Amino acid sequence: MKKLSATAFLVSLTVTTTPLFAQTVDQTQTLPDARPGECYAKVVTPAKFETRTEEIVVQEGSERIATVPAEFETSEQRVMTREASRVLTSVPIAYSDEFEKVETRPAEANWVMKFGNSSHPASPGALEGIEASGVNLDTVAENVCFREYYTPPEYRTEDRRVLKRAGGETITVTPAEYETTEERIVVKEASSRLVNVPAVYRTETESVLVEPARSVWKKGRGPLERIDDTTGEIMCLVEIPARYETVTRSVLESPAATKTVDIPALYKTVKVERVVRPAAETRTIIEPQYATVPTRVKVADAGFFWLKKDEKANSDATYSGREVCLIPRAAEFTTIKKQIVSKAASVAVAERPAQFETVKVQRLVSPASEKRTDVPRRVKTVTRQVQVAPPTLVWRRVLCETNVTDTIVRNLQQALAREGLNPGPADGVLGSATLSAVKEYQEKNDLDVGGVTYETLKALKVQR
């Protein structure tokens, strides 16, 4: 029989106390009741798990809101775009021509002094001289002559004002002033509408425990090691972390709702002419026009002694060669063209009617509303492993130096190979590859882990 080099199956376990050790139930405080030639080792009985399913809410229930828009009706409204006012039109003053005969020199009987073939008016002094001679000039008949030796009478020219154009007035019309303003006309009344505010979800990620953490025995420094002249395998209690499955779900943060949005009124800008200053009239006085006509006025008479022509002068009177006669003179006239008012200036008033425009206006018939529909929640079914029994450290009978043979090892290697594992060549040597394959088989089949146990050999149908 081939001996195993530095190999034995009585396992001396060196366990480091860690916080995870408390998870494994140690039932090896009491040594097993072994018979001579039997070998036992501390092995770990795997924890037992139970598959459970539970439902996780991935989206909470909510409600869906649909909005019903507001309804309007269209009507027509008559809007004034220009106010009524008056239009004033100026009617100018009208004149007509009229001719008037104006006396420029009145009829008179003048005392005329004749001297030789010439004659000229008698001077006041001459007339006074005649009166001083005892003649009443007022009773002297026309064409009566008096001889005199005196100076002629004196005249001056005076201006006489004659109406040439009658006075009146002119009327100036100031038209009305307007300003164009813009007025806002409501064509659609203010209203409101409902707007859907969708539900707001936040995404939460939750780790769901599928398989809890556990502790298993694994090789330490090496699969084979001699300790204190005793061949043994160093095993360590190793923590296998819990296995979680990440589940993402939507959590309702704020439910669906509606928001009222104010719709402002619609306006239309219309241009309107408004009277700023009404039409007015300004009257201007036209002064009358006059013409100046020069006239001659006697200021002094001749002052000599006078005798009637048929009378003889006294001997001491000396005829001067001049005589004064009362000569009649007809009046003189001139024709003047003048303008007289035939129709006074006035203002014609015309009424201007107001202007209107028809505008279409939308009026609210029914306001916007909302319709709510329930949305059920959504759930997800999650399957996870729940530990129902912890791993247990127990004594199990194993192959040892006294009862192992090359044939048993070779059969073990062949059985492991049939299970699809890699124990190395079937050479009857229990090396590290064979021990790793044994451990892998134990873990896959929920067998006690820790050396080549009789339980493992039975499961692999290896004859001892």
The per-residue pLDDT for range 320-365, each reduced to its tens digit, is 777 778 788 778 888 887 778 778 888 788 888 888 888 887 788 8
DSSP code for 83: -
Query: What is the average pLDDT score of the chain?
Result: 76
Q: Distance between CA atoms of 333 and 293, rounded to whole angstroms? A: 11
pLDDT in the model for residue 45: 77
- pLDDT, tens digit, for every residue of 214-258? 766 555 433 333 333 333 444 555 667 888 888 887 787 788 888
Given a cut of 80, is residue 148 above it in pLDDT?
no
Q: Per-residue pLDDT for 448 more than 80?
A: yes
Q: Quick one: what percent of the chain has pLDDT higher than 90? A: 6
pLDDT in tens, 372-404: 888 887 888 888 777 777 888 888 777 776 678
Long-range CB contact pairs, 128-132, < 8 A, 24+: 128/301, 128/302, 128/303, 129/301, 129/302, 129/303, 129/304, 129/305, 129/306, 130/306, 130/324, 132/305
Distance CA 223, CA 213 (A): 25
Tell me how many degrees the CA angle 202-207-210 measures, rounded to the nearest 5: 145
pLDDT (average), residues 47-55? 79
Dist CA 238 CA 214 (whole Å): 8
pLDDT at 176 over 60: yes
Q: What pLDDT is attached to residue 228?
A: 35
Instruction: Give residue-wise pLDDT tens across range 95-130.
Output: 788 887 787 878 777 788 777 788 888 778 777 777
